A = this chain, B = another copy of it.
Amino acid sequence: MCPRFDDDVQSQLESSRRRGRPRDPELEGRVLDAAVEEYAERGWAGLTMDGVARRAGVGKSTLYLRWPDKGTLLAAAVEAIATPLAPSDTGSLRGDLELLARQLRAWYADPRGWAVTRIWIDAASSGQQVGHFVDVVNNHYRPAALALFERAVERGEARADVPAQLVVNSIYGVLFMYASMRPWDEDAPDPDDEGLVQELVGFWMRGMAPWLVNGAEGSGTV
């Protein structure tokens, strides 16, 4: 039904080119851009397949030829948008964590970042067609965060059995909470506040102190 997801790379290469008119390669980008623009302008409720088609200069049938429904189209658009977080090596675990925290709060502050999160939640709870979308999140975001700990182990800052998953979930989770409260709760701390970042990183470092080689980090004053 949807060749896009069924085709294996093998068959594509095997027969050189499939018969019939090939798909317009630049069309997908045009549509995905149009979808994101429409979403940005009108929100989810105002996102219309006809609207996307019109903006992209495309027939509605072409949309449904490539994406089975509106949700999938938006997911694909979001996936195309979602550049993975890949905090560069700052030379220390603490520095890497600070960088990740700042990138993450920037990501959540971006409407597109929120859109990704929201679709991900919806997918998770609907339990349908999640397989593919889960990979997006898992493959794009998690490895980048885990790599940070691998570097720390290599550096000799942390023991190999550091509970990276737990810490990564804590990082994503707490920043998600701050971000979700921020838009409307005036009393909530501003995640842009550098002080908050420091506070958080300190909290995480102390939390995983037992696995850190230099145990001095984990205790003492704030």
A 9-23 binary contact with B (CB < 8 Å = 1; else 0): 000000000000000
Contacts of A95 in B (CB 8 A): none
- Specify the chain B residue showing the minimal Cβ separation from A161: B222
Contact of A221 among B71, B210, B219 (CB under 8 A): B210
Query: Is A99 at the interface (CB under 8 A from chain B)?
Result: no
Residue among A115, A134, A169 having the largest count of chain B Cβ atoms under 10 Å: A169
Contacts of A185 in B (CB 8 A): 134, 138
Query: Is A3 at the interface (CB under 8 A from chain B)?
Result: no
For residue A126, give the distance in angstroms from its CB to the closest CB of chain B. 5
Q: Decide yes or no: A166 and B203 within 8 Å by CB, A125-B114, A125-B118 being known contacts.
A: yes
Main secondary structure of the interface of A (DSSP, over half): helix
Contact count band on A: 35 or more
Contacts of A174 in B (CB 8 A): 166, 169-170, 173-174
Q: Evaluate contact between B118 and A199: CB separation under 8 angstroms.
A: no
A 205-222 binary contact with B (CB < 8 Å = 1; else 0): 011111100010011111
* Residue contacts A-B, CB under 8 angstroms, 21 given: A45-B71, A45-B126, A114-B124, A115-B125, A118-B121, A118-B122, A121-B180, A124-B183, A127-B184, A131-B184, A165-B189, A166-B200, A170-B177, A170-B203, A172-B173, A172-B177, A206-B206, A206-B209, A207-B207, A209-B219, A219-B219
The 9 closest A-B CB pairs, nearest first, are A173-B173, A207-B207, A203-B207, A173-B174, A173-B177, A169-B177, A219-B219, A170-B174, A118-B125
Q: Which residues in A have some Cβ–Cβ distance to B below 8 Å?
A: 43-45, 71, 114-115, 117-118, 120-122, 124-128, 130-131, 134, 138, 163, 165-167, 169-170, 172-178, 180-181, 183-185, 189, 196, 199-200, 202-204, 206-211, 215, 218-222
